[in-house]
Amino acid sequence: MTGKLNKRGMTQFLICCLGGNIGYGVYMLRNSFYDAFIDGYGITNTQFGTLVSVYASVAMFTYFIGGIICDKVSARKMVTISWIVNGVCTMFLSTFPSYPVLLIVYAVMGLCATFTFWSPYNKVIRQMGKNIGGEGKAFGGTEGGRAFAEMILGTIIVIAASNMVSAAAGLRMGLLVCGGVLLVCGIGAWFAFSDETDEEECEGKYTLKSLIECLKNPNVWILSLVVLGCYAVSGTLGGYTSTIAAKGFGAGATVAAFVGMCNSYFKPIGSIGGGILSDKFGYAKTLGIGAFGMGITALVVALMPKNSSMLVVFVVIYAVMIIFVGAVRGNFYTPLSEANVPMLYTGTSIGIIATIGYLPDVFMGVICGYFLDTYEEVTALTYILFMLAAFAFAAFAVALIFIRKNRKTIEANGQKTSGR
C-alpha cells in the first residue's frame, strides 16, 4: 500500500466524485427548477410528489437486494450500467414525456440509484481506500469531492439556465448536461475500474451462508443504528436551514440563501478532514465525535435566543455543524473494517446499513410537517432542532457501544494505520 493515488487511482477518484451526486441529478435539479418541472411536464404538485415517492420507494426497498447482488456480480459492471442507464433516462426526460411514461422512468432511475449503484459504488470506494492506504481518506475525500462537484456543476447549470429564453429551456439544458455527465462517468468507469478481486475476496465465494453471516453480525446492525441517527440529522437539516435563519434570526432573503449554501461550502471541509482524522484516530471514534458535535451544535441553536442580534452567531455555529455533518457522512461505512467485515461481504453489509440507516427519509418529513402545522413557526423549528439533537446523541451513544464491543479490533486497526 503506497498511500498515494497513482494515475489510475486519481481517475477512479474523480469519476466517483463527479458521478456520485449527479446520479441523483433529477433530485438536484428539482430544488432549482421546481416550477419548471411542473410547467414543462404539465403536471400538478400532487403528481410531481407522486413521481418523487415512486423514485424514493423503489430506491428505499432495493438497497438490501442490491447489496447482495453486488457481492456476487462485478461492482465495475454494476456502476457502469447504473451511470449509463441513469444518463439515458435523464436525457430522455428533456423530451418532456407524458405523465405515465414519467412514472416508469422515475421507477427505473430509482432502481439505478440503489439496486445497481449504491452498494457497488461504496464497494469500489472501499477497494480504492485499500489501494491508497486509508479507507477514511477514500470515503471522506469522495464525500467531499461529491459535494464540491455538485456545487460547481449546479452553479454552472443555474447561471446558464438564467440566460435561457424560458425556465423550461433551462430545465432541458440542465437535464441534458447531467445526463451527459452520467454517460461520461459510466464509460469512464468501465475503463478505470477492473473486475479483479483483492486477496480477501479470493479467499472465499459468496454463498447463502455468507448472507446469513452478515445478517447475524451484530456489528452491522449496530452501525445501521448509528447511521440512522446521524442521517436523521444530516438528511433533514438542510431542508429547514434557510427557514431557521429567516424566521428565527431575522435573516433577509440573500443571507438566508447564503446560509442554505453553507452545506456546499463547509461539508467538503468536514468530509475530507474527517477522512484524514479517521485514518489516524479510528473510524468509529471519528463517527462518534461527529455525531456528538452535531448534537451539541443543534442543541445550542435550539436554546439560543431567537432574534436578529444572534444571526452572526447562528451562522458561525451552523457552519461548524455542517463541518461535523461532513465528517459523519464521510465515515458512514468506514467502521466496516473495524467490525472485521471482509471485502467479500461489503455489498451486503452496506445494503443492510443503508436500508435501516436511510429510513429517516420515510418518517422525518412527516414529523417535521406535523410540528410546522401544529405549532407557531419558530416554536416548531425549535422542536425540530431538539429532535435532531436527540437523534445525534442517540447515534453517539450507539457508536460508543460499537467502540467498546470492538475495542481490540479498533486498536489493531489503528496500529496498522500508524504503521503505513
Q: How many angstroms separate the CA atoms of 42 and 370, rounded?
A: 29
With respect to residue 200, please indicate whether it lies within any of the assigned structural domains.
no
What CATH code is carried by the domain that includes residue 221?
A: 1.20.1250.20
Instruction: Answer yes or no: do 281 and 137 share one domain.
Output: no
Instruction: Answer yes or no: do 317 and 285 share one domain.
Output: yes
Instruction: Answer yes or no: do 172 and 230 share one domain.
Output: no
Instruction: Answer yes or no: do 181 and 216 share one domain.
Output: no
Last residue of some domain: 140, 159, 193?
A: 193
CA 322 to chain CA centroid, Å, is 14
195 burial (CB, 10 Å; 0-12 / 13-18 / 19+) is exposed
Instruction: Answer yes or no: do 304 and 404 share one domain.
Output: yes
Instruction: Answer yes or no: do 20 and 162 share one domain.
Output: yes
Residue 378, CB half-sphere, CA atoms under 13 Å: how many?
Answer: 12
Instruction: Answer yes or no: do 133 and 250 share one domain.
Output: no
Instruction: Answer yes or no: do 17 and 140 share one domain.
Output: yes
Last residue of some domain: 193, 218, 235?
A: 193
Instruction: Answer yes or no: do 214 and 186 share one domain.
Output: no
Over range 156-167, report the average pLDDT.
78
246-305: per-residue pLDDT in tens?
Answer: 888 988 876 776 777 777 788 888 988 888 888 888 889 999 999 999 999 999 999 999
CA distances from 416 to 126, 130, 377 (A): 16, 12, 51
Instruction: Answer yes or no: do 15 and 152 share one domain.
Output: yes
Q: How many angstroms separate the CA atoms of 123 and 126, rounded?
A: 5
Instruction: Answer yes or no: do 186 and 213 share one domain.
Output: no
Contact 348, 211 (CB under 8 A): yes
Q: Give the least confident one: 22-26, 164-168, 281-285.
A: 22-26
Last residue of some domain: 193, 219, 246?
A: 193
pLDDT at 419: 44
Residue type at position 404: R
Cell representation of residue 29: 435539479
Instruction: Answer yes or no: do 232 and 187 share one domain.
Output: no
Residue 118, CB half-sphere, CA atoms under 13 Å: how many?
Answer: 28
pTM above 0.85, yes or no: no
Q: What is the number of domains present in the chain?
A: 2
Range of the domain at 308: 209-420
